[in-house]
Amino acid sequence: MDLGIKDKIAIIGGASQGIGYGVAHQLAEEGARVVITARREPALQEAAERIRKDTGADVLVIPSDIRKSEDCARVAEATLKAYGRIDILVNNDGAPPIGKIEDFDDVAWQKAVEQNLFSVIRMTRHCIPHMKSGGYGRIINVTSVSTRQPIAGLGLSVATWAGVIAYAKTLSLELGPDGITVNTILPGRVDTGRLELVTRQRAAKEGKDAEKMIAELLHEVPIGRLGRPEDVAGLVALLVSPRGGFITGTAIQVDGGLQRSV
């Protein structure tokens, strides 16, 4: 199926690994020109080479720290300089540290807000005018199913990503008349380095066996397996395409049935 995003210009955050890489690879396969950004330049360059080799796509690498306002501006400016427009924005990054809410001070909370919420606000602000002028706009925010089904120890992420969902819903109302869609994806337990790191950290804090805890994750997912980055990437590809043009303001979990609420 041709999704109709050939030659669309897509910015993807956190694209050196995990879900971000999976999304960049998928959009490149669909013919989009992908702009990938992350903090670690060597890993980002390696990711770009793999995408180019696998898909033959045009890949622009922009190392950045989206927790910084000036880096958000630089990513948008470099994209415009290279391609002249911005069609798709996928806001995705890592996550703040885990731990009990009572143990985090104002500095930790400010860092979490900069990483999870302000980065989305800033990147989106820089892209909206160019989506309007170009007549096409798709904004995707990647958060977590934990915003719907909170997990102890992930308070920094849950609170700030919940803000992203409210922000995105409001923005979808304001940008709908311009034909720009705004959607949020809530991945569940996806098999990435981040999941393994968080699980091992939780095991250490709780005095549990890490391997046993990782195995237990599978039993909580009705599908019976961990998710894969491509499971998330497939939904992103649909939502950023013309075929997804009537879907906006949603928060969709991709979790193998993990979320128990109706």
Question: Is residue 68 scored above 90 in pLDDT?
Answer: yes
Tell whether 148 is covered by a domain: yes
pLDDT of 148 reads: 94
Question: Is residue 213 scored above 90 in pLDDT?
Answer: no
Question: Is residue 162 scored above 80 in pLDDT?
Answer: yes
Question: Predicted confidence band at 192 (pLDDT cuts at 50, 70, 90)?
Answer: confident
85/82 Cα distance (integer angstroms): 9
Tell whether 2 is covered by a domain: no
pLDDT of 196 reads: 77
Question: Is residue 206 scored above 90 in pLDDT?
Answer: no
Question: Is residue 211 scored above 90 in pLDDT?
Answer: no
The rounded percent of the chain whose pLDDT value lies above 70 is 100
78/74 Cα distance (integer angstroms): 6
225/217 Cα distance (integer angstroms): 9
Question: Is residue 193 scored above 80 in pLDDT?
Answer: no
pLDDT-wise least confident of 8-17, 36-45, 179-188, 189-198: 189-198
Tell whether 259 is covered by a domain: no
Question: Is residue 118 scored above 90 in pLDDT?
Answer: yes
Tell whether 3 is covered by a domain: no
Number of independent structural domains in the chain: 1
Tell whether 248 is covered by a domain: yes
pLDDT greater at residue 119 or residue 215: 119
Establish how many alpha carbons lie within 13 A of residue 138's alpha carbon, considering only the half-sphere containing its beta carbon: 25
Domain of 15, in residue numbers: 9-254
Burial-class residue 5 by CB neighbours within 10 Å (0-12, 13-18, 19+): buried
pLDDT of 39 reads: 96
Average pLDDT in the 77-101 region? 95
Tell whether 262 is covered by a domain: no
pLDDT-wise least confident of 125-129, 182-186, 200-204: 200-204
- CATH number reported for the structural domain that contains residue 41 in this entry: 3.40.50.720
pLDDT of 51 reads: 98
pLDDT of 205 reads: 76
Tell whether 234 is covered by a domain: yes
Tell whether 1 is covered by a domain: no
pLDDT of 202 reads: 75
Average pLDDT, the chain: 94
Helix (H) or strand (E) holding 68: none
Please, what's the b/e burial string for 237-252 (b: 16 or more CB within 10 A of its CB; e: otherwise)?
Answer: bebbbeebeeebbbbe
pLDDT of 33 reads: 98
Question: Predicted confidence band at 197 (pLDDT cuts at 50, 70, 90)?
Answer: confident
pLDDT of 195 reads: 77
CA 139 from centroid of its chain's CA atoms: 10
* Strand-strand pairing, 137-142 and 59-61: unpaired
* Strand-strand pairing, 9-13 and 33-37: parallel
